Amino acid sequence: MNLVGRLDALEHRVGELEDCNAIRRLHWAYGYYIDFNRPDDVAELFARDGAVVFLSGEYHGHAGVKRLYGDWIAGRFTQGRPGPIDGLVLDHFQMQDIITVAPDRQTAKGRFRGMLLGGWHDSVVADKPDFMPQQFWEAGIYENDYVREDGVWKIKRLDYMMQWQGDYETGLAHTIAHLQPAAVLYPDDPLGPDVILPPEDIRQTWPHRQDVPMHFAHPRFGAVLAG
């Protein structure tokens, strides 16, 4: 490879690394915004035609994202107020990212693990929804799509698949998930998704376990596994 080719390859590689850092920052920012129930800020992280998958339902566009993170989540946890809220913990930890940028650097895929610690202090427990335990843990895996929109990386499709939930007092060994798959669409359910996944793709929650296919191939056998 001549000098020009080497420089072009190096520039492309540096660009890919910058893309990975931008996508990592984007997803970590998402985690902080949902910690504090800021649905407008969450929506701005998504592409205009972006979507989020939660409890086997898809929420479409900025309106759908705001309905999920605003009306559904903030409405239930903080009565619609932005956080932080005295006596409420809702911390989402984002970790173990594997990011793959497409050769043209216009799209990318990312896998993250999320862990959630949630709970209400005794002084505000009256604000807790009836179906929620007072203290709980949750973990899930994201397999996300990203797109460069107007030169900025945005979330194209955020797909969160819960792995388990555990009440703090009894532990995950004695817990059935307090969240179940979506069953009614918007607007019949004002908080519902725009689409429910096909029956064969419905994801039952803990203690059920399901695989979350990885977007990346094994590094050693990648060429074979990729076909």
For the stretch 36-61, pLDDT in tens is: 999 999 999 999 999 999 999 999 99
Alpha-carbon distance values, 14 to 28, 103, 148 (Å): 21, 13, 17
Tell me if 78 sits within 8 A of 88, measured CB to CB. Answer: yes
Res 219 pLDDT > 80: no
How sure is the predictor about 98, in pLDDT bands with cuts at 50, 70 and 90?
Answer: very high
Mean pLDDT of 175-182: 95
Predicted local distance difference test score (pLDDT) of residue 81 = 86
Kindly give, in sequence order, each residue whose CB lies less than 8 Å from that of residue 140, ignoring residues fewer than 6 positions away.
113, 114, 116, 160, 161, 162, 163
Distance from chain centroid for Cα 151 = 22
User: Can you give the pLDDT at residue 9?
Assistant: 84
The pLDDT score that the predictor gives to residue 227 is 46
State the pLDDT at residue 56.
97
What does the block give as tokens for 107?
Answer: 């799209």
How far is Cα 71 from Cα 65, in angstroms, rounded to an integer? Answer: 10
Decide if 42 contacts 31 (C-beta within 8 A).
no
96: left (phi over 0), alpha (psi -120 to 50) or beta: left
pTM of the model: 0.92
Per residue in 116-159, pLDDT tens? 999 999 999 999 999 999 999 999 999 999 999 999 999 999 99
Where does the pLDDT of residue 8 fall: very low under 50, low under 70, confident under 90, or very high at 90 and above?
confident
As a whole number, mean pLDDT of residues 162-185 equals 95
